[in-house]
């Protein structure tokens, strides 16, 4: 990360906060405080728990409560206890609220239009393309990888999605019972670990690492949600697992994969993995890879 890059990012921040940020608030908050507008914006059609709203917007509970009271008074939302747990309250848009949200969407369109309007068509095309790129990469930068227990709901959700996808993509289908499944203990310290990738707190991918005694470290169950692909997440998982295996003093990383997963195969190749003869009897595997890695001492913190 060199100084010129930092510099460009700074210039970008300046232009963009000046232009987009200010306008955004201005457009959105025309006849409504932006606190209320932001809240309205976050309430989806099916309703949201107050708790979740607070988390997403990072606001004080008292403040959110007050904002909700204001929206309720305007007849834009209803707030009701959730039947299963009456402490938690769920916010829903009324028809009026939905209409108001619609209006915010319209404003958002206007803002977008005002950014493009002064440009000629060629410039517009280039601006939109560059924005898409920035959007994609900033989104990628917002993804966090957390080690979790394989039994954690997020982990379980990822694994279920993973299996469903394999079932669809393998021409033979996929039956977990026939596969060499590591039991959860193998993907939990000290025998391994399991990472979940999250975007805005929502799970969007997973990857497991087996660290068997007396055998090479092995990557298992790497999956990225369709909506989070093309963000370099697979590569990031590989790098992270490699670093962690290295910290454990391992010098070899391996994995197996199915021929149907061609993007993954490309990823392994371009990440320094070499194809090797089968090292296990996984019935769904067609390719086996390994990569020499540099073992490192565990870091201080």
Which residues would be at the binding site for a second copy (CB under 8 A)? 1, 5-13, 15-17, 19-21, 24-25, 108-109, 111-113, 115-120, 123-135, 137-144, 232, 235-236, 239
Question: Quick one: DSSP state of residue 86?
Answer: T
64 binds, among a second copy, DNA, none (CB under 5 to 8 A by kind): DNA
Q: Which is nearer to a second copy, 95 or 121 (CB)?
A: 121
- DSSP structure string for 115-174: HHTTS-HHHHHHHHHHHHHHHHHHHHHH-EEEE--TTSHHHHHHHHHHHHHHHHHSTT--
Q: Which is nearer to a second copy, 7 or 168 (CB)?
A: 7
Where on the chain is the footprint of DNA (CB under 7 A)?
29, 33-36, 49-51, 54, 59-66, 68-69, 79, 84-89
Q: Which is nearer to a second copy, 135 or 175 (CB)?
A: 135
Cβ of residue 99: shortest distance to a second copy, in angstroms?
A: 19
65 binds, among DNA, a second copy, none (CB under 5 to 8 A by kind): DNA
Cβ of residue 214: shortest distance to a second copy, in angstroms?
A: 32
Q: Which is nearer to a second copy, 45 or 138 (CB)?
A: 138
Q: Which is nearer to a second copy, 123 or 274 (CB)?
A: 123
Question: Does residue 283 contact residue 179 with C-beta atoms inside 8 Å?
Answer: yes
5 binds, among a second copy, DNA, none (CB under 5 to 8 A by kind): a second copy
Burial letters 78-115, b for 16+ CB under 10 A, else e: beeeeeeeeeebbbbbeeebbebbebbeebeeeeeeeb
Q: Which is nearer to DNA, 42 or 165 (CB)?
A: 42
- Please give the structure tokens belonging to residue 178: 């026939």
Query: Residues with Cβ < 8 Å from 253, sequence gap 6 or more?
Result: 216, 217, 218, 219, 241, 242, 245, 273, 290, 291, 293
Q: Which is nearer to DNA, 28 or 246 (CB)?
A: 28
Cβ of residue 136: shortest distance to a second copy, in angstroms?
A: 9
Query: Residues with Cβ < 8 Å from 232, sequence gap 6 or more?
Result: 140
298 binds, among DNA, a second copy, none (CB under 5 to 8 A by kind): none
- Please give the structure tokens belonging to residue 249: 């003093």
Residue 21, number of CB atoms within 10 A of its CB: 11
Residue 163, number of CB atoms within 10 A of its CB: 17
Cβ of residue 132: shortest distance to a second copy, in angstroms?
A: 5
Give which of 223, 188, 185, 189 is closest to 207, Cα–Cα: 223
Q: How far is CA 247 from the centre of its chain?
A: 25
Q: Which residue has the tokens 């003093």?
A: 249
86 binds, among a second copy, DNA, none (CB under 5 to 8 A by kind): DNA
- Please give the structure tokens belonging to residue 204: 């969007």
59 binds, among a second copy, DNA, none (CB under 5 to 8 A by kind): DNA
66 binds, among DNA, a second copy, none (CB under 5 to 8 A by kind): DNA
Cβ of residue 159: shortest distance to DNA, in angstroms?
A: 19
Cβ of residue 185: shortest distance to DNA, in angstroms?
A: 18
């Amino acid at each position: 990360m060199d100084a010129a890059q930092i510099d460009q990012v700074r210039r970008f921040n300046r232009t963009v906060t000046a232009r987009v940020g200010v306008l955004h608030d201005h457009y959105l908050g025309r006849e409504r405080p932006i606190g209320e507008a932001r809240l309205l914006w976050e309430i989806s059609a099916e309703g949201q728990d107050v708790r979740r709203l607070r988390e997403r917007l990072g606001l004080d509970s008292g403040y959110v409560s007050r904002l909700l009271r204001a929206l309720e008074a305007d007849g834009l939302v209803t707030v009701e206890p959730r039947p299963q747990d009456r402490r938690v309250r769920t916010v829903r848009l009324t028809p009026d609220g939905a209409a108001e949200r619609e209006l915010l969407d319209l404003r958002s369109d206007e803002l977008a239009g005002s950014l493009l309007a002064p440009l000629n068509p060629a410039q517009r095309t280039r601006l939109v393309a560059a924005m898409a790129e920035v959007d994609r990469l900033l989104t990628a930068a917002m993804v966090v990888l957390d080690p979790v227990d394989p039994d954690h709901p997020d982990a379980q959700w990822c694994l279920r999605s993973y299996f469903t996808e394999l079932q669809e993509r393998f021409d033979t289908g996929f039956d977990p019972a026939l596969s060499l499944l590591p039991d959860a203990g193998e993907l939990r310290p000290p025998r391994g670990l399991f990472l979940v990738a999250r975007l805005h707190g929502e799970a969007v991918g997973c990857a497991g690492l087996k660290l068997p005694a007396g055998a090479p470290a092995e990557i298992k169950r790497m999956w990225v949600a369709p909506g989070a692909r093309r963000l370099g997440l697979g590569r990031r998982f590989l790098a992270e697992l490699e670093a962690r295996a290295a910290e454990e003093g391992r010098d070899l990383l391996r994995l197996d994969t199915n021929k149907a997963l061609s993007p993954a195969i490309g990823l392994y190749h371009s990440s320094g993995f070499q194809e090797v003869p089968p090292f296990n009897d996984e019935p769904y595997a067609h390719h086996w890879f390994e990569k020499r890695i540099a073992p490192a001492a565990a870091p201080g913190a």
